[in-house]
Structure 1
Amino acid sequence: MPLLAISGLGAESSQFHVQGLYWLACDTAEDATLLCRQVVGGMPDHVRAALIADAPASAEVLGMLDAAQGPTELALYETNPKATLHLIDDLPRIDVPGRVLVLLAPADVWAGGNVERWCNAMRPVLLAEAALLLVISSGQSTGLVERLRAFNQGIDGLAQLYRGKGGVRYLQHFWSNQLGKIGTRDVELARLDAGFAVAGAPQLHSHTGGDELLYLAQRPVLEGAPAFSEHWQVCESLDELGAKASLAVSATVVFAMDGGQRLDSLARQLHRLRQLRGNALKLVVREMAPTLRYQDEQLLLACGASQIVPFGASLSRFLTMVESIQGYVWRRHLPSDFDALLARLRPLAICGMVAPRAFAEAVQTMWHGVRNGEIVHQLLVLRAAPGLTPLQACSRTVFRRDGDIACVVGDVLFLFLFACRAEGVEQALDHIFQLSWKELFISQEVLTGVDSLATSAFLEDSLPRPPMFDAAAQLPTQPRPALAPRRVALGKRGAA
């Protein structure tokens, strides 16, 4: 029984039917040659085999092959791109019945042709003659592989050998043999002198869809550069990107976020794709203008974003960041109700100093996002310096953001900062207090929950009156007389 001969791959992924058509697509000619030599060298003695390739490729495959390896009978047939496309016409001269044929050819042979038609013509003849054909194509061939992947009824097995995720990978799209049919599998390979072998324990990835190498991106994220490789497909609009992404399973989808795009629309798009296509899809948002605040980033991440590339990251840095999430599976919980999620991650329309009851009710409502692990808020207790009441300490405050509220309970000030990380507390206080808050307050405590807001002190509905100032200090000062120039005589130094 012919084998693919990649050590560690397992029989279900390495055995062939005795007749049929299989395809291995390699990114480089070097890898294709090594894999072809490994396949030929791993064939049993009794197999009647034939190698079809151009003269230099045949010499390279056989030149490094040990004489003791491979089948006893190996016929050699020289080909060129035109002959490869018309291989069906030459099969009668190859003595096909019962043979294992290995075709080594560059992928661009099929660039201008109809590979589906080629396979449709080839496979029935192979089945009728009880022959097996393994095509090993060389050169990046994303377009070719995508067509073959969609044409799975016309071939018995399809796999890719590519460079990515820090090494050499073997991506099996589908494979069938006498043991049954199996789907997508992506494993790391080690390159040895004798060929390729599975590195470590192989992993099955039933959640992937075979499009791991595909990148779908809005044009602005490329900063005017052309598509980086044929793995990249550039979309002119958000609608076009969404339509293509809705058919992907584990591709990388890159959205552009600029000042003219509505955040809620992008969040809804991410949420829809994550619901529709599952957790293997990599959803990346590149910030093209400084528009995203912390709470906006948390919304996008909660809606399914795998990564957010911040504004200011260079093109090379952006590519490095995107490469770093290859093989990543989104593992957060996706809420089913987008509108409820949006409500949890948006502040209430309330701001500034409020009554204790209003403060407690508002904070408990906005705290739901914290309970779900979707966002972080800060609830602070501040004690005023001696000689100051909390209201006096707050006499020069400016609240600019919805959701940032405060109230006075007893002799302390409660302050709630919506969507504020721990490292941003001091900066937030600098913005709210026009005077130095470090001098106004002697202590600052961060509460980790809202249980303290359930006490009777937070049932008070009235807003405390602002502090009274000394009336004398409020009297207008007497106007000073206008200044007028006057003549001054200066004596000469040394005069008697």
Structure 2
Amino acid sequence: MPLLAISGLGAESSQLHVQGLYWLACDTAEDAALLCRQVLGGMPEHAKATLIADAQAMADVLGSLDAAQGPAELALYEASPQATLHLVDDLPRIDVPGRVLVLLAPADIWAAGTVERWCNTLRPLLLAEAALLLVISSGQSAGLVEHLRAFNQGVDGLAQVYRGKGGVRYLQHFWSNLLGKAGTRDVELVRQDAGFAAASAPQAPTDTGGDELLCLAQRSVLEGAPAFSEHWQVCENLDELAAKASRAVSATVIFAMDGGQRLDSLARQLHQLRQLRGNALKLVVREMAPTLRYQDEQLLLACGASQIVPFGASLSRFLTMVESIQGYVWRRHLPSDFDALLARLRPLALCGLVAPRTFAEAVQTMWHGVRNGEIVHQLLVLRPAPGLTPLQACSRTVFRRDGDIACVVGDVLLLFLFACRSEGVEQALDHIFQLSWKELFISQEVLAGVDSLNTPAFLDDSLPRPPRPDPAAPLSALTRPALAPRKVTLGKRGNA
């Protein structure tokens, strides 16, 4: 019986049919290769298996696979990512009947709308040949997963391995095997020597402490209103609130975050309360002034916050949000070392253009928060337009934030944006480049990992200097047109 080989998942979520089509979507290539190696290593000796991947992915999988593990017969088929789209045409060349086919490929090769047709064509052939195909895709592609979720009749099982909630998690959307059909399930994973394993499920509190209706709040979060009921206790300052919260079990504790409060102090307070009082306590932060950036919110959530109420939410909306988390148990992983967590979520004191070696070392250091699922960064490869060098493209840049760094390698510019979500990339580029970056560069690629920074090109310690723009020279055609006043004559209307 084929298995996913993730210990702790249980048979209903790890067994596969002996024929059909299953899909595992992994956020990173590293996780996809590890899971692929784990699946192959967990196969019984009598099984017949086939691995289909490109040369680099195949090397990543087989390089650490124990020769004493896995099936006695493992066929290898090297295929480019685009070639996998025509797998149905290549099946006659593979000894398919009775085999477990494992396909490792990047998620972005399936454009919107093509994955349904690909599965529709492939699955009937697999059933006819009594063969099983497990697709392990790498790279974030929310659209791909959404298509597969809606297309559940053409796939026997769909799950994701993603970074979030303070760790690596396994999200099962649906799964079917001889034991029946299973629905949605979200499980924390731990990485062991043999691969991923399901973390032990947190125990539900047997005693709520009798204070589950209690709300402890700093006075400022009520906007001058009195306590809303006998269940509300209003505290004048943070020390009083912290003292009462340290004796609570499952109450709601509401902190005010304003411009005068230190973020690190609040984060440490949340971390201490979560360590001391457990997961049933509901910790809410209400933003009273527009002070929290994305990385600040991620720090508070990683330190134990159950909910962050954004600045601008009305009092009634705030109360609705507080009510919505009643009965909620915090499910994230809490790092034991607060200072190490703080370091992962804070940028290095670097900014602007740096040498390739400095760039690689800094990015690999700051990438630890991504690996733990605590924060998101963006690593971009920008290719200048014809006639421009990367240094010329950098001649009119302004880097304002620590952690936003760039380097030149060959004919491309690499740019690292600290604590930047994918939807914020274009706005960040608008702030960095004084000229239109859409005209400066002909292509923009987002790298899902940092493996490419281990090449010899990043051993270079030299820091190139971008050419200084000549103020006397005419501005390039890439410059945005200057604004100039012009005379406008207004006509008189009516009798006035």
TM-score normalised over the length of structure 2: 0.54
Partner of 2:130: none
The secondary structure found in structure 2 opposite 1:370 is: helix
Residue 280 in structure 1 maps to residue 288 in structure 2: no
Q: Which amino acid is the alignment partner of residue 317 of structure 2?
A: R
The secondary structure found in structure 1 opposite 2:308 is: strand
1:321 CA displacement: 0.5
Partner of 2:293: 293
Partner of 2:218: 218
Residues 243-264 of structure 1: CA distance to partner in whole angstroms, max 9, x if unpaired?
A: 0000001000000000000000
Q: Which amino acid is the alignment partner of residue 364 of structure 1?
A: Q
Partner of 1:344: 344
Partner of 2:363: 363
Tell me the distance in 1 between the aligned counterparts of 2:213 and 2:253. 11
Contact 2:395 2:469 in 1 (8 A): no
1:205 CA displacement: 4.7
Partner of 1:53: none
Partner of 1:460: 460
Cα distance 1:336–1:468, how it changes in 2: closer, same or farther (>3 A)?
closer
Partner of 1:10: none
Tell me the distance in 1 between the aligned counterparts of 2:468 and 2:335. 50
Contact 1:207 1:280 in 2 (8 A): no
Matches within 5 A, 1:385-404: 385-404=385-404
Tell me the distance in 2 between the aligned counterparts of 1:463 and 1:204. 55
The secondary structure found in structure 2 opposite 1:420 is: coil
Partner of 2:246: 246
Partner of 2:260: 260
Contact 1:356 1:408 in 2 (8 A): yes
Tell me the distance in 2 between the aligned counterparts of 1:433 and 1:207. 56
Contact 2:335 2:341 in 1 (8 A): yes
In angstroms, what is the RMSD of aligned CA positions? Answer: 1.7
Residue 405 in structure 1 maps to residue 405 in structure 2: yes
1:469 CA displacement: 7.3
Counting aligned pairs with the same residue, the percent is 91
Cα distance 1:226–1:408, how it changes in 2: closer, same or farther (>3 A)?
same
The secondary structure found in structure 2 opposite 1:442 is: strand
Partner of 2:13: none
Tell me the distance in 2 between the aligned counterparts of 1:376 and 1:227. 38
1:473 CA displacement: 4.4
Tell me the distance in 2 between the aligned counterparts of 1:258 and 1:465. 41
Tell me the distance in 1 between the aligned counterparts of 2:401 and 2:257. 22
Aligned residues: 272
Matches within 5 A, 1:30-429: 205-206=205-206, 208-429=208-429
Tell me the distance in 2 between the aligned counterparts of 1:298 and 1:207. 30
Tell me the distance in 2 between the aligned counterparts of 1:446 and 1:375. 16
1:210 CA displacement: 1.8
Residues 303-349 of structure 1: CA distance to partner in whole angstroms, max 9, x if unpaired?
A: 00000000000000000001111111100000000000000000000
Q: Note the residue ranges of structure 1 that are not aligned, 5 or more in a row.
A: 1-202, 475-496
Q: Note the residue ranges of structure 2 that are not aligned, 5 or more in a row.
A: 1-202, 475-496
Q: Which amino acid is the alignment partner of residue 224 of structure 1?
A: G
Cα distance 1:280–1:352, how it changes in 2: closer, same or farther (>3 A)?
same
Tell me which stretches of 4 or more aligned residues in structure 1 moved more than 6 Å: 468-472
Residues 364-404 of structure 1: CA distance to partner in whole angstroms, max 9, x if unpaired?
A: 00000001111000000000011101111111100000000
Cα distance 1:336–1:435, how it changes in 2: closer, same or farther (>3 A)?
same
Partner of 2:147: none
Q: Which amino acid is the alignment partner of residue 346 of structure 2?
A: R
Partner of 1:432: 432
Cα distance 1:470–1:348, how it changes in 2: closer, same or farther (>3 A)?
closer
Tell me the distance in 2 between the aligned counterparts of 1:327 and 1:425. 37
The secondary structure found in structure 2 opposite 1:217 is: strand
1:208 CA displacement: 2.3
1:466 CA displacement: 2.2
Matches within 5 A, 1:9-28: none
Contact 1:218 1:255 in 2 (8 A): yes
Tell me the distance in 2 between the aligned counterparts of 1:409 and 1:326. 52
Cα distance 1:239–1:410, how it changes in 2: closer, same or farther (>3 A)?
same
Tell me the distance in 2 between the aligned counterparts of 1:312 and 1:424. 21
